[in-house]
Each structure stands twice: as structure tokens, then as C-alpha cells.
Amino acid sequence: MNGIRIREVKEGIISQNDITAAGIRSHLAEKHIFFVNVMGSPGCGKTTFLKRTVEALAGKAGIGVMEADVDSDTDAVLMEKTGADVIQLHTGGACHMDAHMTKEGLNELGDEFDIIFLENVGNLVCPAEFDVGAHLSVMILGIPEGDDKPLKYPLMFKTSDVLIINKTDAGEAFDFNEELFRERVLSLNPDIRIFSLSAKTGAGFDGWMSFIKEKYEDYRA
Amino acid sequence: MNGIRIREVKEGIISQNDITAAGIRSHLAEKHIFFVNVMGSPGCGKTTFLKRTVEALAGKAGIGVMEADVDSDTDAVLMEKTGADVIQLHTGGACHMDAHMTKEGLNELGDEFDIIFLENVGNLVCPAEFDVGAHLSVMILGIPEGDDKPLKYPLMFKTSDVLIINKTDAGEAFDFNEELFRERVLSLNPDIRIFSLSAKTGAGFDGWMSFIKEKYEDYRA
């Protein structure tokens, strides 16, 4: 390719949280609760996406939401307007949720729900490394972030079940090659389901809503 | 405010890298090298911003660039076109650069430079926690990320010397209240220097270039 020098400066990352995550998953399965982990960069539109999703599910399912942030309750305040039961989790500096933190959050939230959503910390790296016991992992990428992100943050694309390409309403302002982007994503993860939509305007949202309802019904069946 | 329940799920973060960072800073000072750490979310425009900065400095200073990413050499390939000496650093999963990794990178890059830029891993959380020995810390926030980010990621805004509000060219497509945003930032960090610009079009870039040249000259004086 070229003359770029590459130096590996790998830092060891040790995670002991898989057992806890498996415990969460089976506990929620016993309670027939479907648990969805939503990830993506700061500002990719996680909260707007979740708000619209929860509003569309209102009356059809009992919804609990855990909003994870380093600080503030901005997202929880917004989310509470949907009528869902919401808890704000503070990670105290940590850039991701792990299974232990998730378990604490779930204990606090309670289990009188059909579906629980976790809005993870805004970060395209570490949340992908920590299984939180979810039944479905959803990642969001906003078009302004660029079509090169699968090259630079491959693990998130590899480990997610669903990819939401968000902010299609603002797409024209950016050089985003969706065809190339989809190719890059599918070469990392051929099974990922991709939806292009605008969480802000609602355009393209139907496909995602049909999918999540179907997944939920399959899970409960 | 409201009835939101907040649960602290703090994870201890221990860093022993301050001594290494101080060593880097003094070593580079002996060599009269000015070291700038550039941080921000994935897709905030770090590479485009750095490319334009390096191009504007061409012929006036010898420039070295360290591109840090979890994977790929996308940014290094782009950056090499500026004529700067570029090295790609792979963090092997780590979501930030620490002082030890930075020292490795600097050793590899060499010290025949006037200015060295580090493009940190795209992340608004952890890079703010790790002193890498830089003389100037610059953070970038793209308008599409939203004006609420100082509330949710305060440490990055607190620890940066300079804030670049980027993507002003696409600003109209987003509900971004710049006045409110600046108020939120300045309440966290009254000394931060803020520049609004478009790294893509170059609009507003002059103020930043005057600032960095002045900082560099002060440092060398």
C-alpha cells in the first residue's frame, strides 16, 4: 500500500464480566424481559432514536429505560417524557457500561417490564468490548461521522446485531458514500441488519419498528 | 428538577502515567519541540482539521504527526499527503492514548521536528483522563454532535486548552444553540479558547492559525 510506519501500542484489556452478563441474560429470559443495548458515538442520536422507538411501542409493551452517562441526567429527563420508566446511571468516569454496572442498574430499575433498553455511554470503542447481557445489540452511526468508521472502529460493527444509519435528513451536507459504507460494514459482519433513517424526522423508521417488534415477538414466543 | 432516580455505578480508574507524561513534556522542551494533543469524538473532524493545519504550517515549521487509532491506517494515509512525517499508532483495542504509548510513538517518530501533533483515538471520555505530555490540548466538537455535550462529557471540556467548534458549514441542518453551548463550556472552563470554523471549507480557520502560531512562537521564545 504505502510507506506508513505502523507501531502496535496495545494495552491489555482484561474483562471478567462474561459470567455476569450470561447471568443477566438468563435471569431476564426467565422473566420474559427483552433487553436491548443501544450504542454509538457521542451525538450519533441515541436518545432521539430511543425516544421515537419507545413512543412507537407505547401501549403495546411496558418499557424500562436505563440511561448511562458519565455525568448529568439530560437524557433521562428527555426520555421520561415518553412515559417510560427511566433510570439514569452514572458511570463516574467510565467510558462504557459493563455487566456489573448493568446488573446494578437493572436491580434498581426493577423487572416489571416487557422490554428494557440500555442507552450506553457515547463511545464507539469500549462498549463493544463489554457484554452487558443484552438479547439484541444495536449500534447507531450518524452520517456526519463519515463512511470510514468501520475501518477505524471495527469491533463495534462486528459485535452489533443491528446498525442504524442515522441523520439521513442531513445527509446531503456530508460526503458520505452509503454504498461503500455498507460494503465495509458487511465485510466485517455479513449478518448485521442495517436500517437507514432519520430519528429526528421519522423518515425510514417503519423498517426498524417492524424489525424490533418481530424480534420481541420471536423472543416471547 | 424532576423525579429521575440516579444511581452511581462508578468504576475506579487508576492512572500512573503522570510521571511519564511530565518526562515527555520536559524532554520535548529540551528539544524545543511543541507537542499538541488533538481529541474529539469519532467523526468530529480531527483528521480534516489537522490536515488543513499542517498544510498551513508547511514551509514554516517541520511537522511530525502521530495518528492513533484502534485499527487501520486510514488517517495516516490521508495525512501523509500533506508532506508531514507521519506515523500510525495502533492502540490494540484501547480507547485512548496514555503517556507510555505516546512515548513509544515519539521514540519511533524521532525528534527532528518543530511541532508534533497527536491525533488521539476518537473518544470524548478517556483521552481527557490521560496526560500524554502535550504542551497544548485541543478538543474538537462537530455541530452535529449537539450542544448538550458539555453536560454529558464535562472532563474533556475542563481539561482542554482549546475548543474547536467544527462543521459550521453544515450548521443549519442541526438544532445547535452555539450561545448556550459556549455558556455551558465556559462555566466548566472559563479559560478555554474557542474557535468556530469549518475544517472542510476553511471558513473561520484564520483565527485558529494565528493562535497556534502565536502559541508556538511563545513556546520557542
Q: Could you report the predicted ipTM of this complex, rounded to two decimals?
A: 0.89
% of chain A exceeding 70 in pLDDT? 94
Average pLDDT score, chain B: 93
Looking at the domain assignment, is residue B2 inside a domain? no
**Is B134 in the A-facing interface, judged by CB distances under 8 Å?**
no
**Is B86 in the A-facing interface, judged by CB distances under 8 Å?**
yes
Looking at the domain assignment, is residue A5 inside a domain? no
Count of structural domains, chain A:
1
Helix (H) or strand (E) holding A136: strand A136-142
B210 vs A15 pLDDT, higher one: B210
The string of pLDDT tens digits covering residues B5-40 is 766 654 434 457 889 999 999 999 999 999 999 999
What integer pLDDT is reported at residue A9 of this predicted model? 57
Looking at the domain assignment, is residue A96 inside a domain? yes
Task: Give the pLDDT band of residue A7 (cuts 50, 70, 90).
Answer: low
Query: Cα-flanking dihedrals φ and ψ of residue A218, to 5°?
Result: -60, -45
One-character DSSP codes across chain B: ----EEEE---------HHHHHHHHHHHHHTT-EEEEEEE-TTSSHHHHHHHHHHHHTTTS-EEEEEEESS-SHHHHHHHTTT-EEEEEE-TT-SS--HHHHHHHHHHH-S--SEEEEE--SBSSGGGG-----SEEEEEEEGGG-TTHHHHSHHHHHH-SEEEEE-GGGGGGS---HHHHHHHHHHH-TT-EEEE--TTT-TTHHHHHHHHHHHHHHHH-
Beta carbon pairs, A and B, within 8 Å: 221
What integer pLDDT is reported at residue A172 of this predicted model? 86
What integer pLDDT is reported at residue A5 of this predicted model? 72
A28 vs A13 pLDDT, higher one: A28
The string of pLDDT tens digits covering residues A30-64 is 999 999 999 999 999 999 999 999 999 988 999 99
The string of pLDDT tens digits covering residues A55-108 is 999 889 999 999 999 988 999 999 999 999 999 999 988 999 999 999 999 999
Looking at the domain assignment, is residue A112 inside a domain? yes
Q: What is the domain range of residue A214? A: 10-220
Overall average pLDDT of the B59-84 stretch: 93
Contact A42 B1 (CB under 8 A): no
**Nearest residue to A130 via CA among A168, A169, A87, A101:** A101
A131-148 burial by CB neighbour count: b if 16+ within 10 A, else e?
bbbbbbbbbbbbbbbbbb
Contact A7 B87 (CB under 8 A): yes
What integer pLDDT is reported at residue B5 of this predicted model? 72
Overall average pLDDT of the B99-125 stretch: 96
What integer pLDDT is reported at residue B1 of this predicted model? 42
**Is A119 in the B-facing interface, judged by CB distances under 8 Å?**
no
What integer pLDDT is reported at residue B71 of this predicted model? 87
Looking at the domain assignment, is residue A182 inside a domain? yes
Looking at the domain assignment, is residue A153 inside a domain? yes
What integer pLDDT is reported at residue A11 of this predicted model? 40
The string of pLDDT tens digits covering residues B120-179 is 999 999 999 999 999 999 999 999 999 999 999 999 999 999 999 999 999 888 999 999
What integer pLDDT is reported at residue A27 of this predicted model? 96
Looking at the domain assignment, is residue B203 inside a domain? yes
- Identify all chain A residues contacting B6, using CB atoms and an 8 Å cutoff: 73, 76, 87-90
Identity (one letter) of the amino acid at B202? G
- Identify all chain A residues contacting B152, using CB atoms and an 8 Å cutoff: 42, 69-72, 74-75, 122
Task: Give the pLDDT band of residue A3 (cuts 50, 70, 90).
Answer: low
Residue of A nearest to B76 (CA): A4
Residue A12 has pLDDT above 90, yes or no: no
Looking at the domain assignment, is residue A3 inside a domain? no
Contact A42 B88 (CB under 8 A): no
Q: What is the CATH number of the domain that holds B185?
A: 3.40.50.300
A19 vs A195 pLDDT, higher one: A195
